[in-house]
Amino acid sequence: MSRPTPLNIALLGPTGAGKGTHAASLSARFHLNHVATGDLFRDNLESGTPLGRLAKKYMDVEELVPDEVVDAMVEEWCQRVPKERGLLFDGFPRTNAQARYFEAMLQRLGRTLDAVIYLDVPDPEVLRRLEGRRICHRCQQPYHLTANPPRLAGRCDECGAELYHRADDTAERVTARLRVFHRATDPVLDHFTAAGRLIIVSGEGSLNAVEDRLIRACEGLRNRAYGFATARDRAEIARPPLTSPMAAHVARATRDLVLLGGPGSGKGTQAVRLSTKLALPHIATGDLFRENLRQATELGRLAKTYMDRGDLVPDDVTEAMVAERLGRPDAREGFILDGFPRTRPQAQALTEMLTRLKRRLTAVVLINVSDQTLVDRISGRLICRSCQAPYHATFKPPHQAGVCDACGGELYQRSDDNPATVGARLVTYHHQTEPLIAYYRGLGLLREIDGEQPVDEITRQLLVALRDLSPRGAFAIAGAVP
């Protein structure tokens, strides 16, 4: 009797939906190799793999680990799985950009995606569940005080280590995480609905009841006899519409600017120049993240708990840092935002933040630079180990070779600033940014600047574009534009 064709499945759902518990059961029953991105990330860090060492370098300089590093970890893991074994992805893909990468990756590996199974659990039920969730300090095995308790109170069944209640499993933080989850995942569900690959399974009820539903779904897939979700099915679990930008005549008059551009496009340099010329704070998310960590703010301490246990810092923490920064007095009249938003869900998060502040974006400027030029630029980039000031071996060399002009720190080249790695980062950048650009173009806020001109000319054109975008004259500052 021939062995059934192996299944390749992604299992998605909000935090607390039970993905990890059910993924382990399904993997054993259907002979699937199970991968959870959080576990995979920790394994790479602890084992010191090349990708783990690369991720640690980001973490050591208090930077967020880019998506493309995690994507590469997933693909490398998949390459080691024999073709006769199926794959079960737990919580991946999380975004539309990852969904596109995911499909292309499976195609490169000669595999076919059978289904994306979405465990649908209402937000109030998620909040109730997470109040009782406990995690093993050592192996990260999840438990629940009532639904899935350990045999010995407070101790892990697998390794005997102590269980703990995560600091981010509070109602406030869980609500924020759910908002981020739905913003990011709704487009993924829409994508796989249109592709005829989405299965929606109710995640409510006992563990056994949910497991039975999942088993029926997988058996139906194996027998090619399971119906996929229709657009009407998808609409039934859709969340309320996202916040729209505040009307210009209602919003408070501010000079709120976002700069977009690929890695090496010069947006950081231009943000500093505009900040000086327009007397607006330059808010770079990398700097903001490091500031919160070094000052041990509440959000910085929360981010550090993720980093200390080898986890990726989730978007809701980054968004909360940005929201807090935009609410400070120096940003009351405007800001120049650099590095956020990176995706359309983050753009929608920014809209929500500004609406709460009774303001709206004035302008979004995209600095366009060809991929080849970006590769050339980044390959010569140097960074200060102490203050993170950027230099370039050709375009912006330091006064003294290898020494930072600002603080005297040592300059170094990041290990991911090589042509092959930069190319992979650019693929991720385009996947993430194309929907973001379309979003802002649709709102009439976008202007594009040729970023391959001299630095002074780019600055001049930026100021002209800002002036033209602002009918209230918000950026028409005397002497600012030649």
Does the annotation count 460 as an active-site position?
A: no
> Catalytic pick from 414, 441, 447, 460?
414
SS3 label, residue 5: coil
Alpha helices for 85-205 (secondary structure H): 96-108, 123-131, 171-194
Q: What is the Cα 141 distance to its own chain's centre?
A: 24
Which among 267, 273, 325, 377 is annotated as catalytic? 267
Decide: helix, strand or coil at residue 428: helix
Closest CA to 256 of 184, 176, 322: 322
49: Cβ–Cβ under 8 A, 6 or more apart, which residues? none
> Is 166 considered catalytic here?
no
Neighbour count for residue 378 (Cβ, 10 Å): 23
Dig out the tokens for 116 from the structure: 């994306």
Of 129, 342, 344, 377, catalytic: 342
Give the three-class secondary structure for 63.
coil
- Complete edge-to-edge strand list for the sheet that includes strand 115-120: 32-36, 86-90, 8-12, 115-120, 198-202
Q: Are 18 and 210 in contact (CB under 8 A)?
A: yes
Which of 197, 255, 360, 425 is catalytic? The answer is 425
CA dihedral angle for residue 364, residue 377, residue 398, residue 57, rounded to 10 degrees? 90
Query: Residue 110 is which amino acid?
Result: G
Q: What are phi and psi of 472, to 5 degrees?
A: -85, 5
Which H or E run contains 302? helix 298-308
- Name 34's bridge partners: 88
Do residues 88 and 9 make contact, with C-beta atoms less than 8 angstroms apart? yes
Q: How far apart are CA 55 and CA 306, in angstroms?
A: 14
Alpha helices in 161-244 (DSSP H): 171-194, 207-222, 231-236
Beta-bridge mates of residue 392: 381, 396
**Strand ranges inside 266-421, DSSP E:** 282-284, 334-338, 363-368, 381-384, 390-392, 411-412
The token pair that represents 239 in the structure block: 């969340």
Note if 425 is an active site residue: yes
Helix (H, G, I), strand (E, B) or coil at 345: helix
Does the active-site annotation cover 381? yes
Q: How far apart are CA 270 and CA 338, in angstroms?
A: 10
CA dist 301 and 173 (Å) reads 14
Q: Annotated catalytic sites, by residue?
A: 267, 342, 381, 414, 425
